[in-house]
Amino acid sequence: MSINRTGDYDAIIVGAGFAGLYMLHRLRGLGLSARVFEAGGGVGGTWYWNRYPGARCDVESMEYSYQFSDELQQDWEWTERYASQPEILRYLNHVADRFDLRRDIQLDTRIEALTFDEDAGKWTVRTDDDTEATARFCVMATGCLSSPNLPKFEGMESFRGATYHTARWPHEGVHFDGQRVAVIGTGSSGVQSIPVIAKEAAQLFVFQRTPVYTVPAHNQPLDPDYVARVKAEYPSFRKESWFHPFTFHADLNNMSALDADEAERKRVYDRYWETGGLPFMASFNDLFFNMQANDTAGEYIRGKIHEIVKDPALAEKLSPEQVFGCKRLCVDSGYYDTFNRPNVTLVDVKDEPIEEIVESGIRTSRRTYDLDGIVFATGFDAMTGAILKIDITGRSGAKLRDRWAAGPRTYLGLNMAGFPNLFTITGPGSPSVLSNMVPSIEQHVNWIADCLAYMGEHGYTQIEAGEDAQEAWVAHVNNVAEATLFPRCNSWYLGANVPGKPRVFMPYYGFQPYVEKCDEVVAKGYEGFALIS
C-alpha cells in the first residue's frame, strides 16, 4: 500500500459544518495555515446530510446563525421563524463563499486515523484514500449528531424495496407517491418527516418504540418588523440569550409549577403551547429539577394528545410516560394530528415487536407489513460516535477508544489528557446539545483560537489537559447532571439508544457557568492544562 503525503499545516480541522467553517476562518485570521477534511461532498455538516422531508431546525433562525460577523448577520435574510434544511445549507454555502473558505477544504475525504508523533510534536492524519498530512494542532469539528445509528434488524439485506436513513437522505430526493412506507423511530427526525411523508404515501406505518413529547412549532414567515428590531440590536440580543437556560430566548417563567394552582398552571402551559417550540421548557423554573413539577408538563401534553388525536386508544398509545424533556423535546408541524389520517397506522413495537425484515417488508410478532420503502429515523451515535470512528492515538500510544471505553472523559469538552494539541469543538463535557449549537460552537472556536494565539505569543508548542483537572471536570459534569432529571430516561444524551454504549450523561448543563469557567481557566494562565515550550 502506498501512502501519498500531502501538506504539513499548522492545523488540521476535521469537518466542514458550522464548527469547521468558523474554525478555519479564525485560524486564517491568526495567520496560521489550516486544512479542512470533510467526508461529505459539500460543506454544511449536519445540514448537508439531513435532507429528509420536513428537516428543519428547532431553534429559531434569528438565533441559529453566526454572530462573529456583524455584516453577515445584518445581510443574511432568513425567511421563516424556523429555517428549513435547504435554507440553512444555502446559508452555510454563502458563508463558505463570502469568507473564501473553499480553497482550504478538501471534500469527499474521510479521516480514518489520527496519530500523535511525540518526537516531531505533530499529528499525522490518514484519510480513506491513504493520504497522510501532518499538523501541530488538530481540531475535531465532527459534530454531535453526525454518526447515524442504524440498528441491526434480522434480515435487513433481504428487503426488496428501498431503505433510507434520515441522516443519509438521497440528494436527488425521494418520491413516495402511491407507496406503502414504514418509518421506524419517533424522535425529532421521525416527528418532522412523518407528517410530510404521510401526505405523499398511499400508506404509512409508523413503528414507535417510545412515544415522544412534541410541541407545535407554529412555524411562519418571519415578520419584517421583528427582524428589523432584532437586527437593530443584534449584539445585545445575542448576549441576552446566554443567560437563558438553553441559550436561546425563552422568556423563563420564574416560578415553580407547584406554586400555581391547576387553573393557573393550565393558563401558563396554554400560553407557552400557543407560542410554540422549545421555549415550552421555560413554562416553569423547576421542570428539570422536580419530578412532581415535571409531571405537570407531561400531563399537560398528554391532555393535548387526547384533544388532537380522535381515537382515544390511539391517543393513549401516542402518550409518553417518561420524564418530560429528558429525551430532547421535539418541535413539530402537525405530528399528532397526522395520526388522524386514514392512511396512517401506528405500530407500537412494545406490544408488537419487530421480529425481522423480510423480502416484502417488516414482520412483527403479529403480522407482516408489506412495504415499498423503509425509512430509518433511528437517530445517532451521539456526541462520541464521530470521534471514536477515527482511530485516535495520542501520547505514549494511548488510544482514545480505550480511554473512553467507560464513557468520554474530557477537560471542559475541549481537550483530553494524553492527547496534546487535539481539540474537540462542542465535545462531551461541554454544553453542546443542551445549548443553542451555533453560539456554543462560536464560544469553543474563539476559545481555541485565542489559546493558539496565546501559545504563539508565549512560545508554547503544546497544550494538554492535566489528568487531575480532567477527572475533577468529569465528576463535576456528572454531579450537575445528577441534580437534574435529565439522566432519568434512556436518551441519546446518555448513549442509551446505542446497544453496548456506556451509560454516561455526556453534555454539561449550564451554558453561562460553563463560559465563566472557561474564561476563568484562561485568566489563571490555562489552569488545569500543561503548557510546554
- Please report how close the Cβ of residue 154 comes to ligand NA7 at its closest, in angstroms: 11
Using a 10 angstrom Cβ sphere, with 0-12 exposed, 13-18 middle and 19 or more buried, the burial of residue 499 is exposed
Angle separating helix axes 262-275 and 291-308, nearest 10 degrees: 60
**330 DSSP β-pair partners:** 214
The cell numbers describing 532, all together, are: 510546554
The cell numbers describing 135, all together, are: 499538523
- Using CA atoms, how far residue 346 sits from 30, 158, 200, 486, in Å, is 55, 24, 17, 27
190 near ligand NA7 (CB under 6 A): yes
**Interacting residue with ligand NA7 among 61, 124, 210, 283 (CB under 6 A):** 210
Q: Is the dihedral of CA 286, 290, 296, 300 positive or negative?
A: positive
- Please report how close the Cβ of residue 50 comes to ligand NA7 at its closest, in angstroms: 8
CB-wise, 105 or 145, nearer to ligand NA7?
145
- Please report how close the Cβ of residue 60 comes to ligand NA7 at its closest, in angstroms: 15
| Distance between CA atoms of residues 510 and 17, nearest Å | 24
**Window 309-338: contact mask with ligand NA7 (x via CB under 6 A):** -------------------x----------
- Please report how close the Cβ of residue 62 comes to ligand NA7 at its closest, in angstroms: 19
- Please report how close the Cβ of residue 325 comes to ligand NA7 at its closest, in angstroms: 11
Binding segment for ligand NA7 among 179-187, 196-204, 232-240, 251-259 (CB under 6 A)? 179-187
Using a 10 angstrom Cβ sphere, with 0-12 exposed, 13-18 middle and 19 or more buried, the burial of residue 470 is buried
- Please report how close the Cβ of residue 282 comes to ligand NA7 at its closest, in angstroms: 17
| Among candidate residues 136, 133, 131, 132, the one with its CA nearest the CA of residue 120 | 136
Using a 10 angstrom Cβ sphere, with 0-12 exposed, 13-18 middle and 19 or more buried, the burial of residue 420 is buried
Residue nearest to ligand NA7 (CB): 187
**Window 368-407: contact mask with ligand NA7 (x via CB under 6 A):** ---------xxxx---------------------------
**Interacting residue with ligand NA7 among 136, 165, 209, 249 (CB under 6 A):** 209
187 near ligand NA7 (CB under 6 A): yes
DSSP track, 263-320: HHHHHHHHHHHHH-SGGGGGSSTTTTT-HHHHHHHHHHHHHHHHHH-SSHHHHHHH--
Segment 146 to 165, residues that bind ligand NA7, using CB under 6 A: 151
- Helix ranges restricted to H, 309-357: 312-318, 335-338
Which residue is it, cell 398509545?
Answer: 317
- Please report how close the Cβ of residue 440 comes to ligand NA7 at its closest, in angstroms: 13
**Interacting residue with ligand NA7 among 15, 44, 185, 510 (CB under 6 A):** 185
- Please report how close the Cβ of residue 493 comes to ligand NA7 at its closest, in angstroms: 9
Q: Which residues here bind ligand NA7, judged by CB under 6 A?
A: 145, 151, 166, 184-190, 207, 209-210, 328, 349, 377-380, 492, 497
